[in-house]
Structures are given as structure tokens and as C-alpha cells.
Structure 1
Amino acid sequence: MGLGVSGAGRPPRRRRAAMARGPGKRPASLVPTPTPDQGSNPLRDQYLRRSPRISNLSPMLASRAPSRLRQALPYLLLALVLAGVMTLTRGARLQRADLVINNGTEVTTLDPATVTGVPEGRVIKSIFEGLCSKHPATLAPVPGMAQSWQISPDGLTYTFSIRRGARWSNADPVTAHDFVYSWERFLNPETAAEYAYQLWYVKGARAYTTTADEEGRPALSFDTVGIRAPDDHTLVVELEAPTPFFMDLMAFYPLFPVNRRNIESAKSEHPDSWRLEWLRPENIVTNGPFRVVERRVNDRIRLERNPDYWDADNVALSSIDVLAVEQTVTALNMYLTGGVDVLYTVPASVIPRLLPREDFTPGPYLGTYYYKVNVTRPPMNDVRVRRALALTIDRTAICQKITKSGQIPSWTWVPPNIPGYEGAAMEHAATLAENVKEAKRLLVEAGFGPDGQDFPTIEILYNTSEAHRDIAEVIASSWRNNLGIDAKLLNQEWKVYLDVQHNLGFDVCRAAWIGDYVDPNTFADMFVTGGENNNTGWGSPRYDELIAAAAVELDPARRMATLRAAEEILMEEMPILPIYTYVTQNLLNPRLGGFLPNIQDEHFPKYWYWKSDEELNAERAAHPDRGQLVDAPGPAAGLYSPAAQRAGAAR
């Protein structure tokens, strides 16, 4: 890991509004008040003064611990909290941001063209903006850099009117040419963007990406691609065929624009390291509601409101800290003691205690947790082996004993909550015992077992997470006990895990896919032969034909049937082993406004604000069934956008 970098020559950061205790009973703190001999540390003192939300959660971390561990637990929790304090104080005199979220890991990059993960997407949606944004509740496309658009009657031509007055953080105007430049870079084979296929619905785009010369450079002119800018404020896009979800893609973060002058300057000044240099806080140029002012690797990214953003008047928060704490127990303790305001996941062991609380409300999520199988490695190249492994995963035990938030055991690839679509399930029996019996038969048929060859030891790859480890242990135990297959566990940090997965350096690999838009195609098109996000080595000509046919099918019912036929092939061939359908696990300060539930669990910081005591009390009174009230630290007067403040004053 490289050293953290920070912005240079930035104006003084605005001091956050004084924090006041919110409505609700304050529970006793697990963190002792500092004594004079501890010395003065303003940041630590501010951290410890933050209203804790601990309540009686500490027993849940010790419910199954031996008695000696229970006795030591207060000291362990204190150590964890102090570790969080050390993390926060790592940057000398860095004042607390208006809002602190934990992103769960260190992001791999902030380059929209090359990202693939949810953690990266959360940051990129804060600092860049595409042609469209999304409504925070409905996820419907709303104007972003495009103030309006027109679609031709045949659905093949989209004309976007670029917002006049929109500017980059370096004061350059945002123009249609920025999108032409950014999308050429995105499609360029030299960029090797894993999401490039999301623009292949554009005329000529697939050929441009896949036709390269001996040096890996585009062999075709970009003039062959249906993307052009007649003037600074008009972008015209021509599609190969009508694409029902194309406007949803316009709000998808890999398609966000980048500033050409920013990248070209980095190439000129740092020819050998420009890919890193243009992304440094002191260099990166953005067009979203926030900008990067500091980055400390494996600690945090500090974001501040972008005064040049076209809608800055409706942005409430002046600063956000995005933490990279991987250990969910550590993150939970930071939340409970007021050091973090939003968590996107929590330790599974505490979920039963969290469920009654108002700050934890799991909901439907358009995502599948699954295992990928490397079908290029024997014996995983035998579909009978893959089916045997899939049949002996105890999905019910995983959902009831590990995840515990209402996750749904899954036998389909596409989640069940897409309107108009019914998934195709893999063939299976009603009970685990029946499935184990069939799995044993399949292994014998494949040549393994008492009268056949020994099954080789395999490896389960997963990225750092207690929950991923626990799930892998349950699955490995089931394979060992029911099939006699030994599976070793291999934990890798996020970036290494992604590299190993992409290079097919695994036997079985933990994975997850969250829909990029509400349509089965966002799941189906992943597994076309050679797809950038396939990463299994599997391919099927018939599957590819069906995905291509669905892309040009205009009748909605026939299109859904075609996609279902493709899923049937996937569930017969089993290059993936579905495990469960996700639910959200957000734990957030009840005072936070604008963080609205939706099926993609996508949230947009430009809409976030702190509620006043008056607003929070009114909301609680209107919803008495919202659960056990918890403390809601934050400014008693709230923190609203300039536009909202003027509207409130006018009332």
C-alpha cells in the first residue's frame, strides 16, 4: 500500500455545527471520561463526547463467550473503541466531518471507467455526476449533467441537452465533448474497462472495444461509434437496437465523465505514473456535489461540498468522511460510541438485538450472494461436480444462523423482486437430506467416491469479512461431512481478491452481484462468453444467442421469457452456485434525513441532511411503530441545505 495523500493549498475547513444531544434516552457509555493525566487531545475528546448509542448491545457481543471472556469483555470493547479513536486521531487535528460513514474497505480506485465494486461506487457517486442522477426513493432517472433529453420514436436515438452553467471543480465548463472523450476512453481497449459492455448497446461500440491492433490500441476510428457532440451543449447517442434500460445506464457511475485537461496534464507531467497522479486529492477534478480534499489509505477519504456544483444550493453537508474499516465489530463499536453515523453492514451475531431498534430496518435488496466456480480446473469442469456442490450448501442454516436479517435462500441467479420476471431455479429437492443423496449419486457418476478416485482438496476464496468467513466455514463443513470433500479457506484483502478472481486463480470464489438497474438483464448479461464480469471460464453459444435476442426484443413479455430461458441454461450448467438473496443491513443515525430505502440500496449524499429536534420528534410521533428509540446525536437545530434554510425561513 502506498502512503496516504492529502490536498495542498486548501482553504480552512469549516468547523462543524456544535453537536447536541438528540431526543431519546441516553444510554450509559462504555467509554470512560478522560482524566486529566491523559493529556489534551481535542479530537479524542470530541470523539468521546459524541452521544453513544450503546444501550444494552454489549451483551450480544458476549452472549456465547466463555465466562472468562465475558469478564474481560468491557476491556476488549474499550480496546476496540480506543483503536477507533487511534484511527480517528491518525490525522493530527483533522476535525470531525459533518457526517461519517464506514465504507467497509479501502477503495481500489476513483476512476469511474475502471471501477467495479460497490465501495468505489459510493464514493464516485459523491464526487462525479453523469448525464442523469437517480431519485433517492424511486431510482427513476432525474436530470444531472443533462438538463433534458429526447428519445426518437424508434427508440434508437437519444439527444441530451447538456446543462448550461455546469462546471468542473477546476472551473472548466462541462460540455458534451467531455462525454465523447470519457466514453471513448471507457470503450478504448487500452483502458480495459470491465464495464465497457454496458455501452455496447451504442452503435459500433462493441466493435470499437473488441477490435485492437498488435499494441492493444483501437484498430477502428471512434467515428464509427454512435456518439457525437454537434456542439458544446448537445450529445447525440445512436443505439444498435431499442434498449429499455438505457436511461438507467446514464446514471450508472462507470459512465460518469472525467475532465480531459485533468488527465492530459497528468500524462504530460507524469508519463510513467499518470494513472495514479490524476487521482490524487490535489489533482483530481470532479463535477459532482462533493470533491476529494484528503485521502489516507486504509483510513479515510475526506470529501467537502463542491461550491462549483450546479446544484450546490441544495446540498446540506459541508463535509463527509468515508472510512475504510474492514472489521465489522470495530465499525459497530465506532457507531455505538458516535464515531460513525452510517454502517452498510453489521456483525451477524448482533442482528437479533438490532432488529427491534429504530436505526436498523432491513429491506429488500436487488442482489445475489453466490459462489463462482472456475470451470477451467478439473474436477470443476464437470457439471455433475458443480451440481453436487450446489445441492449440499445448507442455505437455510446460513440465512437463519449466520446472516439473520431475513435473507432468502436462493436457487435462482436473478433475485425474485424484479417486476414482470419469474426466475428459473436450479433443480433441487425440498430437503437438504434429499439433495445430499442426489449429490452423492452425481459424484459417483462423475467417478468419485469409494469405488472411484479421491476428490482433490479445493479452496474457497473470499474477501476479508467475518460473515464471508463464517459462511465459507458452514459450506466447507457441509461438503466435508456430506460428500467427503475437503475445502480450505483463503482470505484475501479486497484488491488482491479482485485480481485473483479476474485471473481465474481460484477453485471456488465467494462473490455477490448487486443489480445496476432494475431489470434481469443486469444479471443475465454478466455470463456471456468472455464477459468481463464472468470470471468463471464458462461460456455457452446458446446462452449468448438468447442474451443477444433479448437485447433487440421489443415485446416486454417475450423479452422476459427469453431472459428466463437464458437463466435456465445457467442453472443447468452451474458455473455459479446461488446461496441467498440479499437484504439491506444499514445501521444509521435516526437523525439523518434523505437516506431513503430502495431496492438497489443506492444512496446519494447530495440529498442527506441532519434533522432538527423538531423534525425528528414529529417523525417519531407520526410513526410510533418505528421500533425502540435510540439516541440520535447531531445538531439540535439540524443541518439543512441553503435552499431548505431559505424555504424554512419563508414559512
Structure 2
Amino acid sequence: MIKRKRALATLLAAVVVGSVFVGCGKGSSSGNSDQKVTINLGADPKTIDPGLNSTVEGSRVINNVFEGLTNLDKDGKSVPGVAEKWDISEDGLTYTFHLRDNAKWSDDKPVTANDFEYAWKRVLEPNTASEYANQMFYLKNGEAFNSGKATIEDVGVKATDDHTLVVTLESPTPYFLSLTSQATYAPVRKDIVEGNTSWTLKPETYVSNGPFKMSQYKPKDTLEIVKNPSYWDNSNVKLDTVAFKFLENESSALSAFKSGQLDVLPSPPAAETPKLLEDGSAKAYPYIGTYYYNLNVSPKTAENNPEAAKALNNPKVRKALSLAIDRDALVNQVVQGGQKPATSFVPSSVSDSEGNTFKSKDYYTSSANTEEAKKLLAEAGYPEGQGFPSLEILYNTGQGHQNVAQAVQDMWNKNLGVNITLRNVERKVHLDEMKNESYLIARDGWIADFNDPVTFLDILVTGNGQNRPGYSNPEYDKLMDDAKKESDPSKRFELMHKAEDILMNDMPVIPIYEYSNVVCVNPKVKDIYLSPLGSIICKDAHVEK
């Protein structure tokens, strides 16, 4: 019976793959050009607007079709992008970027400094409602303008001519050049974007300035990009086409990879991962990120579910839930992709420009501390789980997320005596419910925007667009504000260590594991860059004939 079920599951997966890839031919590298690569994104991105995106799925598209002032090379160093050079003032507050003369948009119009000024101020404009607006708070008066305390003219970014952009910062920011390579800092055209909320949905209006441009977009199916003939470095781009597929079912996606219909498959099924790693079909790449659970501590929870709020607003309950999780068992028996148990929020792979690792302590053991967890839950008024409200874990479609949720559900039931339900939704719904704080517990993850602890700790600052738990602690906010203004590296780390101490004591998030980027790549695809920041960069990639 078991064998018959497996055979049926395999057959159904093959049928699904076949229906999704009708017309694809024998494999993704066949057809009009051998220089084509097909990549699975998993979920259809919620948005591919550089100023609005906050997901890995979206950035994997954006970083191939847009280019910022700088790029990051394979060593994580800032190299010229649209800006061919820049000057930094002695006090570290003023950056003058000199744009290259031959930078063009995909409709062949020149990229100007005004495009960057407009794009950055658009992110800060309150009506834009960008979840990444805080990324622009490094600009002089950026936060003040976003909160209505300054005018748009006061913001520290100014195009002095078509090829010169002068940027003034609130305080010296050693990683600012890294920020200018991020999707949020990409330029967009005012004449394209203004008044057109659907500009990202059609090739005619999705005007971009990177190595590739959109050629077709079929929501929930395929987003295809092609070589951009107007790109300034077009002669070094070898691929003609990159097709992004949206296969959320991991088994179907793996079948598509094995049949040659996918060339790049991030996050294969957890059950298959050990075998794929062993036979070389998959490799584990560095990935700077933490997989965690949000605990909704916002006032909305008290309004909608008082009993749940009473439990979730008690730090002893939150710590008990964290301590009752056996992270060793999760990474070794459930996710099985080379992940590391997360015993802090900032992952151990984060370092400074000198290579000094930020992580200095474990806030709890990687195995479950059931005795302490039970004690804390009893002190919170729920001995052996008695009277504990029914809570729900929200997670987005994906077998891996389901496996983790089921394992955590079982651990909390066995170790604490509490009952937890699970709810699976598609990715866009998952993101909306977290943004609206209309959940109790939700799976989440954060991949570094750049290699610095501030990219993790900053998201839990009061009012940050990524602060899904609705967490607020003035002391934490003050430490993070001081850290962002501190230029001395050791003092910066000291301030952020104190901030993480507060965070892990309050526990609005429960770190589960440190990511490992397990990816299946067709051996014919060469020089594709799987960034530790989550991007899949195709600029230098090619298909070996």
C-alpha cells in the first residue's frame, strides 16, 4: 500500500509538472536559444517594484533587471554599477556619485541622477507605504520627512546634474556603499511609475536598467526576462533568456529539475535533500539568514483574541515556547540541509568588514530545556499547559515549512501540554496577514541585506515595516539608534550585543535555525552567482554547450 501511494504521488507530481510546463519542449535550454536558464522562485512575488519589495522572491527578479549605483562582487565588496566612481568626504557624511555616461534604460533613454533622487524619495514618501522606508533613514532628514517633520526638499539626496548625485547622511555609515547595491536603492523612472500602480505587470511599462528586461509575465506561472540590449555592459551578458517559474509544490519542482525543465532549484524537498547533497545533484551554499517564528505581541491581538494576547504578551510564556523546541532534532531530522540550530537571532555567519564574527554567546541550548520551559509556563499561570489558550501557527505553502510547523506543534504538545493548530496559506496571503498583524504565531525568516548585524536587529525597532510581531521596547530602540550613529566598530558591536540581549530576553521572535542555501543547479549552467544574501545573479552566467 505504501509503495502504491508513493507511486501515485510521483505520477501526480509528474502530471502537475507536465501541465505547468506545456510547450517547454525537452528542457529549459532548448528552443530558439541554447543560452536560456529556467529558475524556480517557488512563490509568485508579491511585488517586483524595487521600492516596495521586501521578499527574497522579489529581489531575485529585481536584482537581475535593475542596477543600483554599486554592485556587490562575489567577495561582498562594493564595485561600480551605474556609478563608475564616487567620492566620500573626510567626515563620512557626504557621498558624491558620478554616473557613467552610457547607462541607459531598457527603452534606450539615459539613466540620470534625477532617477535615483526620485526613486529614493519615493520610498520615503509616506503615501508609498514602503515596508523598507527605514532603509532610507540613513539619509539626512530621511526619517523626519517620512514622519512628517521635514519637507521632501530637506532629504539628503540631490541630483546636481544628470550625472552627479550628492548624498548627505545623518551620521557616518560604514556599510552605506553596500546599501546602494540593494533593490530598494535602485532607480525608477518618474514618467513610468507616477500614477501607474500596475507598471510592474507588463513588459511595455516594466522599464529597467539592468542586464535583463522583462519579456513576459504570466502571474502564478512564469516571469521571463531577456538580455537587455541597452544595458551599458551588455557585451558581457551571455544569457539570452532567464525564465522564473512559480512552482510552490517542492516535489513537483524537483521532478521538473530531474526532467530538465528547471535548471536551478532552490530549497528542494527536505526528505530528498540528504540524498541530493550526497549524489552531487544539490550543493549547500553560504546563506546569511535566520528562520524564526513571530509571536504577535501587538495591541491588535488583545482586541481580537484577549485570551491569546494574555499568553503571548507574557515573556515567560514566550521563553517557555522557545525553550521547549529541540532545534538539534529539527535540523538533523526535519530540515536536513546543513542548517545550524539558531541559539541567537543574529546568525553566526554575520561579521564586520575585518572578518570579526558578531555572535558572542548562545542564549539557550540547541536541545530542548523542557524542565525550565515547564517551570516558566507554570509561573505564567499555565501549569502543565492547564488553561492555556489554543494558538495557531501560520505558515506559507511549502513542505519544508509544514514539516517544521508539525514538529514544533508536536514538541509544544509533548513538552508543555499545550495545543497548537496549523494553518497553511499561499505566500501573498502569508505576507499580508503578517503585515496586518492578523495572526498569533507565524513562520518568518530574514536574509541579510548586507553583512552586518544591524540588518537583523533593525527590523525589530518600533515602527519598522518588517516588525511583524508588533514589538516595541524604548531601551532597545535607543541602543539601535546609538549603534547606527556609532563609527567605532567595537563600540557598535557592544551596543548591538546589548540590544540583542534585550531582544532575546523579551523573545518576540523565536529563532529556529540558521539558513543553509541548498540549491540544485544543472551542471551545464556556469558562473551563476548564488549570493549569501539570497540573490541569484545571472549577469555572468552561461550555458555550456
Same fold (TM > 0.5):
yes
1:223-622 pair list within 5 angstroms: 223-264=153-194, 267=195, 274-277=196-199, 279-376=201-298, 377-419=309-351, 420-423=356-359, 425=361, 427-429=363-365, 431-432=367-368, 435-449=369-383, 454-596=387-529, 598-611=531-544
Contact 1:421 1:520 in 2 (8 A): no
Cα distance in 2 for partners of 1:182, 1:598 equals 25
Q: Secondary structure of 1:549's partner?
A: helix
Which string of whole-angstrom CA distances, capped at 9 and with x for unpartnered residues, describes residues 380-404 of structure 1? 0000000000000111111011111
Partner of 1:177: 114
1:52-201 pair list within 5 angstroms: 66-70=2-6, 73=7, 76-89=9-22, 95=31, 98-135=36-73, 137-201=74-138
Cα distance in 1 for partners of 2:479, 2:141 equals 20
For residue 391 of structure 1, what is the amino acid of its counterpart?
A: L
Which string of whole-angstrom CA distances, capped at 9 and with x for unpartnered residues, describes residues 15-70 of structure 1? xxxxxxxxxxxxxxxxxxxxxxxxxxxxxxxxxxxxxxxxxxxxxxxxxx823335
Cα distance in 2 for partners of 1:171, 1:366 equals 36
Cα distance in 1 for partners of 2:536, 2:86 equals 24
Cα distance in 2 for partners of 1:182, 1:91 equals 37
| Structure 2 portions without partners, runs of 5+ | 299-308
For residue 252 of structure 2, what is the amino acid of its counterpart?
A: T
Which string of whole-angstrom CA distances, capped at 9 and with x for unpartnered residues, describes residues 578-602 of structure 1? 1111111111011211124553343
Which string of whole-angstrom CA distances, capped at 9 and with x for unpartnered residues, describes residues 62-110 of structure 1? xxx823335xx1x543442232222122799995771101011111112
Which string of whole-angstrom CA distances, capped at 9 and with x for unpartnered residues, describes residues 461-514 of structure 1? 011110100100010111111111110001111111001001111111100000
Which string of whole-angstrom CA distances, capped at 9 and with x for unpartnered residues, describes residues 431-467 of structure 1? 52xx1111111111111126x9600100000111101
Cα distance in 2 for partners of 1:184, 1:361 equals 40
Contact 2:140 2:156 in 1 (8 A): yes
Cα distance in 2 for partners of 1:453, 1:319 equals 58
Q: Report sequence identity in percent.
A: 38
Q: CA shift at 1:519, angstroms?
A: 0.5
Cα distance in 2 for partners of 1:223, 1:560 equals 34
Contact 1:413 1:423 in 2 (8 A): no
Contact 2:341 2:366 in 1 (8 A): no
Q: Secondary structure of 1:348's partner?
A: coil
Partner of 2:306: none
For residue 483 of structure 1, what is the amino acid of its counterpart?
A: L
Cα distance in 2 for partners of 1:252, 1:226 equals 18
Contact 2:344 2:363 in 1 (8 A): no
Cα distance in 2 for partners of 1:409, 1:579 equals 6
Which string of whole-angstrom CA distances, capped at 9 and with x for unpartnered residues, describes residues 111-159 of structure 1? 1110000000000011111111121x21211111111111111110000
Q: CA shift at 1:330, angstroms?
A: 0.4
For residue 126 of structure 1, what is the amino acid of its counterpart?
A: N
Q: CA shift at 1:428, angstroms?
A: 3.0
Which string of whole-angstrom CA distances, capped at 9 and with x for unpartnered residues, describes residues 555-596 of structure 1? 111111111111010000000001111111111011211124
Q: CA shift at 1:277, angstroms?
A: 4.1
Residues 321-330 or 362-371, more deviating: 362-371
Contact 1:262 1:278 in 2 (8 A): no
Cα distance in 1 for partners of 2:311, 2:59 equals 36
Q: Secondary structure of 1:543's partner?
A: helix
| Structure 1 portions without partners, runs of 5+ | 1-64, 212-218, 268-273, 612-634, 636-651
For residue 182 of structure 2, what is the amino acid of its counterpart?
A: F
Q: Secondary structure of 1:113's partner?
A: coil
Contact 1:461 1:489 in 2 (8 A): yes
Cα distance in 2 for partners of 1:255, 1:240 equals 17
Q: Secondary structure of 2:254's partner?
A: helix
Q: CA shift at 1:344, angstroms?
A: 1.0
Q: CA shift at 1:221, angstroms?
A: 2.4
Q: Which has the larger radius of gyration?
A: 1
Which string of whole-angstrom CA distances, capped at 9 and with x for unpartnered residues, describes residues 325-380 of structure 1? 00110000000010000011100111121122334221331000000101132210
Q: CA shift at 1:406, angstroms?
A: 1.6
Distance 1:564 1:387, change over 3 A: same
Cα distance in 2 for partners of 1:243, 1:492 equals 39
In the superposition, the TM-score normalised over structure 1's length comes to 0.78
Cα distance in 2 for partners of 1:244, 1:251 equals 14
Cα distance in 2 for partners of 1:245, 1:490 equals 39
Cα distance in 2 for partners of 1:96, 1:352 equals 36
For residue 407 of structure 2, what is the amino acid of its counterpart?
A: V
Which string of whole-angstrom CA distances, capped at 9 and with x for unpartnered residues, describes residues 205-259 of structure 1? 0011111xxxxxxx74211111101110000000011001100000001111111
Cα distance in 2 for partners of 1:140, 1:436 equals 44
Distance 1:425 1:484, change over 3 A: farther
